[in-house]
Structure 1
Amino acid sequence: MEFTTGGRLEIRISTADVGKRVSVRRLNPSVGSSAGSAERFTDTVGVLTSWEGGVLRITRRTGEIVTFAESSLVAGKVVPGAPPRRRGPAATVRELQETAARGWPARETERLGAWTLRAAGGFTSRANSVLPLGAPGLPLPEAVDRVTAWYAERSLPATVQVTTGDPEQDALLDAELAGRGWTVERRAVVRTAALAPIADTSAPTDHVRLSRTADEAWLRAYGRAGGAAEEDALAVLNGGPSVWFATVPGDSGGEPAAIARCVVDGRWAGFAALAVGPDHRRQGLAGQVMARLAEQALSEGASAAYLQVETDNGPAGALYDGMGFTTHHAYHYRREARP
């Protein structure tokens, strides 16, 4: 990496470069000044996610987040992203499940072997269900009993996200839950696509506003907090490696015409919360919002897109078909039977 001009190290980035792909060099605080340059310095390439209070946060392509003090920065520059790939992405079910969990994080988690128990005050099933990615480290009946008790302690119904037709472990789990009378709540699919074609649109996107946080107007347009406390909803919505909220303002400062959310995590851009106001439908706003978010994700080095949609949402399915999304895998939720 070349950071010098005339032999001098230079810092050529600032807080104005948040959201851009950067290359930085910083001092390694654990190494003394007598060490060679290879030991004294650490280089990092990724998206400058934030620079606040004298602390920088950079998200690498792998999704790893590197945090360090501004005082340790000795050089830095903005670097161009890799050319976007236009082919559909290849990924394992586990990779997508783990990526989606990071992009919609629960407020509280606990490990049970290879299972992750998640809770967020009841805000969405995704953030309030078990994500089983292997064996729980206990006999299956005992593990389910542990899950039931954990959610009861939080006054939440025990819920498990079960991947359909994936490994035998999931089939055994589904059979165990069904035998206990746990009901299927919803069926959904994870869909993937190449990211670059989503950004291709002949319609303008400069009217789509991007923000790092969801404001009150965005939340009202989203309208899915339900009985969950606002702090629970905000913790989930604002969580993730590099989160963006898109808004198309309504007429004369009214409610937003369209909204959506995107989280960039390494090569993946995860889309969610796409909504268009009833008076603004069939105007192409959904595609424009997705395109603007895709542009941002491409600039941060992402190349693939994913989203989750319920199988009975026909209009959304048709929209995503037109954007090139194809089904990667399916899942459903099993919820405990309660008196």
Structure 2
Amino acid sequence: MIRTGGVDRTVEFGTPGRLEVRITPADVGKRVSIRRLHHSAEDAAKFTDTVGVLTSWDAGVLMVTRRTGEAVRIAESSLVAGKVVPDVPARRRGPAASYEELARVAARSWQPVESGRLGDWELRAAGGFTRRANSVLPLGDPGVPLDEALTRVREWYAARELPAYVQTATGSPGAQDALHSELTSRGWLVEVSAELRTGALAPLADTGAEPGAVRLERGFDDGWLRRYQRSPESGETVRRVLAAGPSVWFASVGGGAGEVPAAIGRCVVDGRWAGFMAVEVDPGQRRRGLGTAVMAALAGRALAEGASAAWLQVEADNTAARAMYDRAGFRTHHTYHHHRAPEGP
């Protein structure tokens, strides 16, 4: 069924089998599967399939946001078939969790120094150290029209001399696929996209670090921070963000007091969840299992505190880390993005 000129009609095509467009503009916000007829100068007409969230249907053009956050524009006239499909595949490997649960757990692991509220949106600032602590977390309605909300966001960050970022997520029920599409259409640039992955915790602890090879401590020193290399300075704000969380542990391999370790890691235990981050290895000592040893030691500590599930974040272009996490059994739960406000008013 398709709406054209305000009239719903069923579209059938003379191709093998029965193909119908069973979606309408009323399905905006739902996950859909669409087949369209694609023409090009080089190739004959062929079918192209797209699966994602239908984020808009205006002026004869559909916008579908894929799990990765990619927005696909589809002309209504090219539709061959379309239907609403289940939000979640029937079989998902890894711990069961909603998007909102994981978003809140991740936010508690990267706590800002200052925060504000705009309806259900949380505005977070930490002097610019890590976008995760310097972006809006929009878990709900801002309480005002979107354009007004974005103006207030820009003003709030400008008052702190920081660029305005909004974090969105795609690819999971309850995520912000529609907001992601709206921000993109308004010129908010996606600077970073990353996957939030989940996995079982116990297998990590069984990967086997040598006893005593990994030091676990509640705090960290300048040597640990120099290995982290994610901030040009080791100021008080950086230290506060890294140290904050429900139950925070820092791991290191090698290096004495004040010396730079060969490998480091950070873990935040929060109820049943253990989050892994800041896993860094000296480039000259990679492929020796040091990263795996760090995660195994941190996983053992998290198990002792009652956690059973693990999560981590990995950027889309970090091929080496993605391969390591694949081997460790982590699977993508959703993809999140940091949108930066465009220049000008």
Instruction: Using structure 1 for the length normalisation, give the TM-score.
Output: 0.71
Question: In structure 2, how many angstroms separate the alpha carbons of the residues matched to 1:165 and 1:199?
Answer: 29
Corresponding residue of 1:63:
none
Corresponding residue of 1:40:
none
SS in 2 for 1:259: strand
The letter for the 2-side match of 1:279 is G
Tell whether 2:326 aligns with 1:321. Answer: yes
- Unaligned 5+ runs, structure 2: 1-92
- State the shift of 1:166 in Å: 4.4
- State the shift of 1:311 in Å: 0.7
Corresponding residue of 1:333:
338
Written as runs of structure 1 = structure 2, the 5 A alignment for 1:170-189 is 170-189=176-195
Contact kept in structure 2, 1:244 and 1:263, CA below 8 Å? yes
Tell whether 2:164 aligns with 1:155. Answer: no
Per-residue deviation, residues 75-127 of structure 1 (Å, max 9, x unmatched): xxxxxxxxxxxx93110010000000001101111111111100000001100
Corresponding residue of 2:251:
246
Corresponding residue of 2:125:
119
* Aligned structure 1 segments of 4 or more residues deviating by more than 3 angstroms: 165-169, 250-254
Indicate the larger mover: 257-266 or 329-338: 329-338
Corresponding residue of 2:98:
92
Per-residue deviation, residues 314-335 of structure 1 (Å, max 9, x unmatched): 0000001111100001111110
Are residues 105 and 184 of structure 1, via their aligned partners in 2, closer, same or farther at CA, if it must alter by over 3 Å?
same
Contact kept in structure 2, 1:182 and 1:336, CA below 8 Å? yes
Q: Which has the higher contact order (CA 8 A, sep 6+)?
A: 1
Per-residue deviation, residues 207-240 of structure 1 (Å, max 9, x unmatched): 211111121110000011136x611111110000
Aligned-residue CA RMSD in angstroms? 1.9
Contact kept in structure 2, 1:243 and 1:262, CA below 8 Å? yes
Question: In structure 2, how many angstroms separate the alpha carbons of the residues matched to 1:203 and 1:273?
Answer: 18
Tell whether 2:307 aligns with 1:298. Answer: no
- State the shift of 1:205 in Å: 4.0
Are residues 185 and 161 of structure 1, via their aligned partners in 2, closer, same or farther at CA, if it must alter by over 3 Å?
same
**Identical aligned residues as a percent:** 59
Tell whether 2:138 aligns with 1:132. Answer: yes
Question: In structure 2, how many angstroms separate the alpha carbons of the residues matched to 1:252 and 1:245?
Answer: 14
Question: In structure 1, how many angstroms separate the alpha carbons of the residues matched to 2:280 and 2:227?
Answer: 7
Are residues 121 and 307 of structure 1, via their aligned partners in 2, closer, same or farther at CA, if it must alter by over 3 Å?
same
Pair member with larger Rg: 2
The letter for the 2-side match of 1:171 is D
The letter for the 1-side match of 2:291 is A
Contact kept in structure 2, 1:203 and 1:288, CA below 8 Å? yes
Per-residue deviation, residues 178-217 of structure 1 (Å, max 9, x unmatched): 2332111011010000100000024414221111112111
Question: In structure 2, how many angstroms separate the alpha carbons of the residues matched to 1:232 and 1:253?
Answer: 20
- State the shift of 1:172 in Å: 3.3
- Unaligned 5+ runs, structure 1: 1-86
Are residues 168 and 214 of structure 1, via their aligned partners in 2, closer, same or farther at CA, if it must alter by over 3 Å?
closer
Corresponding residue of 1:271:
276
Contact kept in structure 1, 2:221 and 2:258, CA below 8 Å? no
Contact kept in structure 2, 1:104 and 1:240, CA below 8 Å? yes
Are residues 158 and 188 of structure 1, via their aligned partners in 2, closer, same or farther at CA, if it must alter by over 3 Å?
same
